[in-house]
């Protein structure tokens, strides 16, 4: 069992949590939590995230690497658990094609025509998705751009208003 004790031998090191390892005499493993707290609170911006007991600096990308590793392991465990413990009995409904809400029919081949409404939905998504993608960076840097940035973005929005008005006139937003 690990035992924690505050190390107050050295000045400036009084916030380091020292952990004694069982079976190892005189050896402690510690990390200076005060430096990590200051970094997270913004007191020591630009300095190292923390120091190990021996003075070796901790790389700032270690936390990112650990987070990515944990995310990968959680994703892998989820996929493997679904594969190992999930039901594997195929039936007619699971093997049927899903055709965007249309009932699949046996005589419908690869040359079957879908209603134009599905393609209009895809085009509307692309138009408005592109508009939002370009609006985010503009909104972030709005105050640095001045009047010219406002003019450029208003021109962009007006150009994208044309397909919006077209879809509205064609009643593309009515799903009856």
Q: Delineate the domains of the chain, giving CATH numbers in brackets.
A: 60-170 (1.20.58.1610)
- The model's pLDDT over 160-175, given as tens digits with 9 standing for 90+, comes to 888 788 878 888 777 6
pTM (2 decimals)? 0.34
Phi, psi of 53 (to 5 degrees): -60, -35
- The model's pLDDT over 86-100, given as tens digits with 9 standing for 90+, comes to 877 888 877 776 666
Query: Can you list the alpha helix ranges (DSSP code H) found in 56-115?
Result: 62-85, 92-95
Q: What are the CA-CA distances from residue 120 to residues 1, 26, 30, 35, 163 (Å)?
A: 65, 73, 61, 56, 11
């Amino acid at each position: 069992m690990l035992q924690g004790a505050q190390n107050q031998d050295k000045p400036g090191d009084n916030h380091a949590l020292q952990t004694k390892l069982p079976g190892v005499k005189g050896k402690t493993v510690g990390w200076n939590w005060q430096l990590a707290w200051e970094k997270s609170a913004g007191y020591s911006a630009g300095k190292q995230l923390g120091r190990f007991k021996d003075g070796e600096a901790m790389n700032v990308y270690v936390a990112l690497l650990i987070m990515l590793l944990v995310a990968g392991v959680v994703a892998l465990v989820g996929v493997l658990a679904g594969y190992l413990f999930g039901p594997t009995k195929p039936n007619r409904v699971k093997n049927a094609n899903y055709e965007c809400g249309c009932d699949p029919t046996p005589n419908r081949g690869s040359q079957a025509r879908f209603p134009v409404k599905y393609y209009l939905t895809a085009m509307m998504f692309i138009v408005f998705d592109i508009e939002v993608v370009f609006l985010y960076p503009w909104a972030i840097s709005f105050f640095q751009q001045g009047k010219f940035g406002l003019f450029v973005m208003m021109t962009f929005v007006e150009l994208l208003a044309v397909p919006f008005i077209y879809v509205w006139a064609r009643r593309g937003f009515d799903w009856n």
